[in-house]
């Protein structure tokens, strides 16, 4: 359960913004979307390796500058 302490005279918009940020950090929506469709473990592994290679390439490119 997410608890957002609200101070007196604090606008409700700010409290909503805090709530949304905390909710996003929990990863509930991401998990629900992932469960919608089954992905084989080999495909997940392949995607992770591709992402890692892409990020490493960006870092190498940045270091070369």
Percent of the chain having pLDDT more than 70?
Answer: 98
Among 24, 26, 44, which residue's Cα sits nearest to residue 34?
A: 44
| pLDDT score, position 64 | 78
Q: What is the mean pLDDT of residues 30-55?
A: 95
Q: What is the mean pLDDT of residues 17-44?
A: 94
Residue 56 has pLDDT above 90, yes or no: yes
Instruction: Answer yes or no: are the C-beta atoms of 22 and 1 closer than 8 Å.
Output: no
| pLDDT score, position 65 | 67
How much is the pTM?
A: 0.54
């Amino acid at each position: 359960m997410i608890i957002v302490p609200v101070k007196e005279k604090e606008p409700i918009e700010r409290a909503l913004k805090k709530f949304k940020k905390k909710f996003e950090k929990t990863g509930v929506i991401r998990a629900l979307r992932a469960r919608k469709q089954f992905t084989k473990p080999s495909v997940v592994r392949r995607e992770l390796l591709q992402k890692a290679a892409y990020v490493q390439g960006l870092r190498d490119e940045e270091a070369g500058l």
